[in-house]
Amino acid sequence: MDLIGVVIEARNEPGVLHQLTGVIAAHRGNITSVEMLQSPRPGQSRIYFEIEMEQPPEPLLIQLGATPGVLNVAAEKSLQKIYGKRIIIMGGGAQVGQVAIGAISEADRHNIRGEHISVDTIPLVGEQSLADAVRAVARLPRARALVLAGSLMGGEIEKAVREVRAQGLLVVSLNMAGSVPDAADLVVTDPVQAGVMTVMAVADTAKFTVERLSRRVF
């Protein structure tokens, strides 16, 4: 299966998305991701699909372009191929920055060897804000791991961590006060090392797997 990206400019009106997905299904394309992009033109929308195809995509692109309401169709490299797996780091600004140093340095080492790993950061404070952000990571495209970098997290944040772990997201926590470390997959005291270990856990070019660890606190 070949994974392709398709950007479609269309009139912003009811039923367009339904028509587009019908065309993709008719060509036996499997939609793995869809996102509504901002359009600079009033009354228009830009839609980005990532589609798995067993056959050459040209017939699909031609029919998408002929669909009523569609103004332009462009094939692109998929974001999975360009940006790859995403690691999200959130929490206090100082700790987020230190985790990012480790994660970016380690991601660079693996990306040179053919990986595609990107690192996103967001400094946040407040229990509810962090809990909402944790839950939202499970909805982000290509997100594979979350690092919680702070000095004190618990309560609603712990509940959110358990929810996203149940959805298959890897959660790494700094060794902090509060109940979040009890809910995480992995607890690391040093923030730089937390970033390094998170990248190693999601990289196909690394031999490190969380499941094989004999302990989970470092």
Q: What does the domain layout of the chain look like in residue ranges? A: 2-79, 83-212
Three-class SS of residue 27?
A: coil
pLDDT in the model for residue 84: 83
Homologous superfamily of 2-79:
ACT domain (3.30.70.260)
Tell me the pLDDT tens digit for each residue of 84-128. 899 999 998 899 999 999 999 999 999 998 889 999 999 998 999
Beta strands in the chain (DSSP E): 2-11, 30-37, 44-53, 70-76, 85-91, 117-123, 143-149, 170-174, 186-188
**Predicted confidence band of residue 214 (pLDDT cuts 50, 70, 90):** confident
pLDDT, mean over the chain = 91
Q: Is 169 a residue whose pLDDT tops 90?
A: yes
In this model, does residue 207 exceed pLDDT 80?
no
Q: Write the single-letter amino acid at 25.
A: A
Cross-strand pairs, 34: 49
Distance of CA 148 to the CA centre of its chain: 15
CATH number of 83-212: 3.40.50.10550
* Confidence class for position 8, pLDDT limits 50, 70, 90: very high
Whether 2-79 shares its CATH topology with 83-212 is answered: no
Q: Rg for the chain (alpha carbons), in Å?
A: 20
Mean pLDDT of 142-165: 93
Name the band, by pLDDT with cuts 50, 70 and 90, for residue 24: very high
For residue 28, give the DSSP letter. T
| Alpha-carbon torsion angle 180, 124, 141, 138, nearest 10 | 30
pLDDT of 211 strictly over 80: no
The three-class DSSP label of residue 57 is coil
pLDDT of amino acid 122: 92
Q: Residue 150 above 80 pLDDT?
A: yes
pLDDT at 37: 86
What percent of the chain is predicted at pLDDT more than 90?
67
Q: Does the pLDDT of residue 62 top 90, yes or no?
A: yes
SS3 at position 110: helix
When mean pLDDT is compared across 69-78, 97-106, 153-162, 201-210, the lowest value belongs to 201-210
Nearest Cα neighbor of 41 from 13, 20, 10 is 10
- Contact call for residues 81 and 3 (beta carbons, < 8 A): yes
The owner of tokens 């040093």 is: 190
Residue 77 has pLDDT above 90, yes or no: no
pLDDT at 173: 95
Q: Report the 3 state secondary structure along 132-162.
A: HHHHHHCCCCCEEEEEEECCECCCHHHHHHH
